[in-house]
Structure 1
Amino acid sequence: MKKLMKGNEAIGEAAVLAGCRYFFGYPITPQTEIPEYLARRLPEVGGVFLQAESEVAAINMVYGAAGAGARVLTSSSGPGISLKQEGISYIAAAELPCVIVNIMRGGPGLGGIQPSQSDYFQATRGGGHGDYRLIVLAPWSVQEMADLTVLAFDLADQYRNPVLILGDGSLGQMMEPVELPQSQAVHSLKDWATTGCRKRTRNVINTLYLDPQELEKHNQHLQEKYCLIAQSETRAEQFLMEDARIVVVAFGLSARIARSAIQAARADGIKAGLFRPVTLWPFPYHQLHTASAGARAVLTVEMSAGQMVEDVRLALEGRVPAYFYGRSGGMIPDFRAVLAEIHRIGGDDNGN
Structure 2
Amino acid sequence: MASISFHNIAKRFDTAQAVADFNLDIADGEFVVLVGPSGCGKTTSLRMLAGLEQPTGGSIHLDGQDITHVPSKSRALAMVFQSYALYPHMSVGENISFALSLQRVPKAQIVPQVQQAAALLGIEHLLDRKPRALSGGQRQRVAVARAIIRNPKAFLFDEPLSNLDAKLRHSARVEIRKLQQKLGTTTVYVTHDQIEAMTMADRIVVMEGGRIRQVGTPMELYRKPNSKFVAAFLGSPPTNFITGQCIHNNGRVRFVNDRMEIPLNPGVASGEVTLGIRPEHVTPVHASQDQIRISGGIRFVEALGAETLIDIDLGQSQNVTRTLTARLAGQHNLAPGSTLEIGFSPRDSMLFDAQGDAVPEAFA
TM-score using structure 2 length: 0.33
- Higher relative contact order (Cα pairs below 8 Å, separated by 6+ residues): 1
Greater radius of gyration (CA): 2
More strand by share: 2
More helix by share: 1
